[in-house]
Structures are given as structure tokens and as C-alpha cells.
Structure 1
Amino acid sequence: MLKFLQYISITILVSLYYFPIGLSFLPASLNTKNVLALAGMFFLLYDCIRASRVTIPLNLLGSIGLAVLFSLICLYSTDYNHTTDYAYANYYISFAVWIFGAYSVCTAIRFLHGAANFKRITLYLTAVCFAQCVAAMLIDRIPSIQMLVDSYVNQGQEFFEEVDRLYGIGAALDTAGVRFSLVLVMIAALLVNDAKIRSNAWHVALLLLSFFTITLIGNMMARTTILGFGMALAYLAIATDAWKLVIRERFFKFFLVFLLILAFGISISVYLYQTDESFYHNMRFAFEGFFNWVEKGEWRTDSTDKLNREMWIWPQDTKTWIIGSGLFDNFLYSTDIGYCRFILYCGLTGFSVFALFFIYNAYIFAQQDKRYALMFFFFVVITFVIWLKVATDIFVIYALFFCLDGLGQKTFVRKQPMRQPLATAV
């Protein structure tokens, strides 16, 4: 029971990092990500004192340099254009908050398990995303739970209700969809590369059950989740050679469980689609493109139509193309599209550095452990595809990798081995 409570505590901590929220009893400007970052600074200071020295990986210095350079370009754009819109001019602060928050999370995992590696962070993130999907359904269907959550959590839920969208506890709209997508790809990478997990049918079943639940309910929350599902399937097909229509012996048990869970999931979904009105409408939203293709012969969605019809807005002069207009906030240009918003804000100069920042992060981790190179390639693909729809980024996941013990990555501080972990089950 004590171990279970410990696991739950770490899962909540990871959720507060990955899906940060504001709490009604905290100042409006303070959210859980900031609190974890503050804690991470103290943990880092404590580790520095214990180790008597600090080791900052050169790869992290490169990432810091690109983040600072991007911030300086955005600052120059605001100054040159005489604006006070510092949305991304302060990106170096956001970078630091994510790093210190991730350090706090990984420190807690080390305290419980003795080490923070790719396997453990993937399992915790899977549990978090699965719990967010369950929470979204409970909030949608049980008014008392919705009232409880809304009483203590500040996450702009008034807007979610206005546009009639499912939301969890800090998880909503395309931001949630992108983070669900990353975890779906990570699940696929773990199943392919961890033979110990793959050899246990029970572990595989739990991971695949979570995988399909996140895909289904996550898509009801944000259709962006389908991107991660597609990338994860592509990863599985390439990494296992299934695209050659060949099933290797070491993957036979995995694919058998995969097909059984898939058949079970489809059966339950079809049944609920026919018998539950709420599930029916959520499914129609989640897979609008599919239903339009089957019923009308064309693959389209209302949101995609709106993007193509109204939101491709580009600079009107050479100066804005080069250095931007220094304007990003307040939906000034009436576009959500990431490419448009970034270029309008800091021009091709700033956007090029920002794009290079994510390519660099993916490259350094892909080089450190070639087993996961394909996963990081798909992270880059997700980055550039998501900018077709919304202006957001995925550094939240890279910050965790910088603080992990695995993937060949050295943490900030090299210190004596920790005492025996509190738990060793995971």
C-alpha cells in the first residue's frame, strides 16, 4: 500500500509538470510548473553542495545558447518595431522553468527508484495521460466532479465549456493533443526497445490499453492527438519491419496482444457509439474527417476548413518577413497557425533559430542512444506538423531528457550514489 501511494504521488507530480495548472489558493501568476521549477533550483543547489562541483553537459550549453539567441532576436524585433509584446522575447525564462521543473521531477523519481531513466519517465507519463483522459470523461459526465475540479483548478475552463470541449486537469485543446502525441510515440519506442517489458504479456496489455485509451479520448479532447497515433504506428511499422509484412519472432507476442486489444477497443467503441449519446457526439468530433470521408466521400473537418480559409496570413512587406512585427499576443492577426504567428512576430530570422533549436535537441539525443533515434526523428516531425495548426512547442519533453540518467545523458551534477531507493518494482 505504501508503494502504491508513493507511485501515485510521483504520478501527480509528473502531471503537475507535464500539464501545469493554477490553483485557486495560489496567486494568479503562479502555477504548478513554476512551483516545481523553484523546487528544482533548491534540489540542484543541494546536489551541487553534496557533489562540490557542477557538471553542465556541452549539449545543454548548446541548447541554452539557441534559446537565448532566439530570445534576443525576439527582443530586437519588439524593440525595432516599438512594441511591448515580449511573448517569446522571454523564452529563455520559459526554457529555464521547464529545465528546473524537469530536474525536480527527475529528482523525485530518483528518490523513489534510485534512478530516473527513459523507461520510468515513459511509464509515469503514460499513467498521467491515461489519468487525464479518465478525468476528462468524469468531468464531462459527473457535475459534482466538474464542480470540485473547477473550484480549485484555474485552467480557463470557461472557454472550454464555451466551445464545448472535453478537458482534464490542466489538459485541454491542442496543447494536450501535442503532449499526448509525444507520449504515444514514447510508448511505441519503449515497447520496441525494452525486451523485458515486451516479454511480459500483462505489461504489454496495460501499455497498449493506455495507448488506445489516450488515442481515443485524447482525440475527443484535441484532434491533434491523431498525429501522435499515426507517428506511433509508423514507428512500430518501421522499427519492427512490419511494413515488410513480416512479423519477427521477438515481436510475435506483442503483435498478438496488440491485435486483441485493438479488436476489444473497436468493439467497445462501436457499442458505446450506438448506445451512448455523449460518446456518439464525442466520437463524431474526434473522427470528423473519417466520418465525412465515409458519409460524404471527402476527408475534411470544420477546423481544417477554417485554417485553410481564414488563417494563412503572411507578412506584407520585406521588413516583417526578415525581422517580424514584434506582435504575437492577443490574436492580433487572427491566426492560430504556428508558422504564420512566429514569422509575423520575429520574421524568418527568429523562426529559423527556433526551428533549429528543436532540430538540435532531437539530434543530440538521437546521437546519444541510436536505439531511440527514430523516436526523436518523429518528435521533429511532430514539431513541424503541429505548426501547421497552432503555435506551441515541445521543449517540455526535451527538458525531461536533459535531466534523465538514461539515453547517454549526464545530469547536471555528478555525485555519490544515492542511498537505497524506496521502491524497485519499476
Structure 2
Amino acid sequence: MKIAVVALGKIGLPLAVQFADADPAHEVVGVDVDQRVVDSVNRGQEPFPGEDHLADKLADLVPAGRLRASTDYADAIPGADAVVVVVPLFVDEATGAPDFGWMDAATRSLAQHLGPGTLVSYETTLPVGTTRDRWKPMIEEISGLAEGSDFHLVFSPERVLTGRVFADLRRYPKLVGGLSEAGTAAAVAFYQDVLDFDTRLDLPRPNGVWDLGSAEAAEMAKLAETTYRDVNIGLANQFARFADTVGIDVHRVIEACNSQPYSHIHTPGIAVGGHCIPVYPRLYLSTDPDATVVASARAANAAMPEYAVARAASLLGSLDGLRVLVLGASYRGKVKETAFSGVFATVAALRSRGAQVLVHDPMYTDDELASFGWTPYHWAAGQPGEPVDVAIVQADHPEYAHLCAADLPGLRLLLDGRRTTDPSNFTGTPRLTIGGGEPVPA
């Protein structure tokens, strides 16, 4: 097969590699608007760090001629048996409405070069109904082809986590929903050919490619599984805030609850970030605005950075004029990505209280941190940084597990929003957590 993958980001590029690796006879072409990404891939080098096995696979597949990249849709799309679209869908910060700008542009470009007999699969998470009501008429109008007879259109959501994409592709069933039975059958056959699955005994049916019956069902399945996580975390954060008022360690409570099989309470924390968990509930709400449970959980999670900063301020009385260090710009540990990271709201809450804010992240250079408008902070194990009054752990980078009070001269308070640090390293220095129930003066 010739397979085209549209957008070579942190999901799209590993997918292209997986497809190329599945069969030496496959020709895989990735198309991306970023020339730097294309050039890096064509050199057999990973354009971003942190994805397990990606560098080694690129180094093997590209020189062998099994994978290449291009900025030209006219190169990638014609003659393709399958086109897989993984272009980002953005969400307006203020309104929560989906912004289809990039996806519309990519869809128009691929439709201009689409030929008969092609399977088109969207893997980007979408509001329910988008595949049928937006992409189908757009592709048909531009290409002059009829869906269901000239080409097939399906939705098949990615269900992987950055950093472990190849493992997750094996671990989880691949969901498929088409607009016709023939399209669904083509998609099932395609994914069975390019994916391998681990045996799992905890599933209602064998691991592999699952037909959801319609594109809408597959779209909802992706939104539902991620929205569930946001709602669950929202509940955990509500429990944590109450636990702080009554002096209970909510983590011990959650551990106890989850000791039986019907409770799966997630972990509370300072923020919910990334491309998925804080975004997909908004996509769901865009088509189901009456989902009050979803909306309430999203609001509760969005309020956690402000809560954490207020908790620190309540101990010290005021943060005005204090030097406050935010540890972690990334939305989670070991990932160089700031999408919807809690760092933004944390810095804003601190600045609103007059604090002098510094930011540290082991994955970012000083220039990269400064480009966000932050003052970089320098600290490394065994090399104490400049004096600070307060430190707030925002991302659970493994480097912070070894942090101690001596690394941060003058430290008067640590607020560990991820429970990453070792309490024994801060003997004599107040250490607060989210839901730890540590005593704080009123």
C-alpha cells in the first residue's frame, strides 16, 4: 500500500513510522507544513524528543526508503490507498468553541489531490457529527468524488499517550466508525494490516480493531473516555479541597476507596493540562451544552492553579514582593509541551498578588522560557539556585523528586502540586500539597 499521513506531530509521526514498520512493501509519505520537521524526518532524525523508540525506527526506515516526508500534498496524496489525518484541532480559550482552521485547510488540500479508491481516516478527536457533516461534504465538493462509492471516509480516534505511542498502539483496541458498511470494512482491514495487538484478557471481546457501527459512535467514544477522566479528576479535586479544610490526607482516603474494584478515583493536583483532557470536554460541550456535570468538572479543574496559589498565600499572609519559583512549565513530567499547562494560570495568579515570578523546567532553555515572558531560574542537583521565598511544583519532572530545601536558599514554603518531592528533604520548611490536609492558618 501507499499510505499518506497528514501532519507529522507527536502522534502523526509515530503513526507514520508504525505503518512503515508494519510491512516492507508499504510506501509511507508524511506531509507537514513545517519544513524543519520534513527535513528532520528525511534525515532519519526525530524532530522532537521524548518518544520511545522513535529515533531508532526513523534511523532504520528512512534510509531504507520505507518512509519519507514532504510539504507537498500533490506528492503525498495521489495514488494513496489510505490517507490518515492527524492535524491538530484547537479550542478557543475564551469560548471553548472548536477552531477548525488548520483541519479545514488540510482537508481542502488533500481533497484537491484525492483519487478514487482511497480510504480517508480522521484520527484527530472531533465533536460528534463532524466526520459526516463537515468532512464528507467538503471532500466531495472539492474532489468531485462521491463518498461510499468513489472513496471511503471513517473516523478512528488515536488513543495513545505521547512518549509511549508504539506501546499504546499494541495495548488498546483500535476503534473505527464509518459512514457506510463498505467504508468500515475497508478501515478495519487497513488497521488490521498496519497494527499489531497485545493479548488482553480484561476486555469484553478480543483486542484488535473494533467496529463501533458509525462515525458518530466512534467520535463519542473518544470524547467520552477522555471527558470521564476530566470529570473524575474534578471530583478528586473537590475531595482534595474539602480534605484541606478538615485536615484529612485525601490521598490516603483515595487509596482506601480504590482498594475495592468499583472505585477508580483519580489523583488530584494543581492543574489538568495537555492537548487532551482539558480540551475534549469542551469539544463534547460544543454539541451537548446541557452537560452540566462535564461543565462543572471542567470549571473545578481550571480553578486549581488559583486554589494552589491561594493556599500558599494563606500560610504566608501575602505574596506581595516575594520571589516565587514555579517548578515545571510542561503540562506533565518528562514531556516538553506547554499545551494548556497549569504554568500559565499559576504564573498569572502569582503576579496578580504582586509576586516576583521565576520559572524552571529542565526540558527548556533559558531563551525558550523567556519567550513566554518568564524569568528563567537556574537550579541543578548539587548546585543551589538564587534565593527564593516560595516554590510551587507544577509539573512532576523526575528531577524534582530529589529536590531539597538546601537547593533553594531562603525557602520559606514549598507547595508541591504534584506530590513529587520527598517530605524528608524539607524538614523544618513548611510543605503543602493538594489535599494533604496540612494545617494552614485562617
Q: TM-score, normalised by structure 2?
A: 0.28
Bigger helix share: 1
Q: State the structure with bigger RCO (CA 8 A, min sep 6), 1 or 2.
A: 1
Greater Rg, structure 1 or structure 2?
Answer: 2
TM-score normalised according to structure 1 size: 0.28
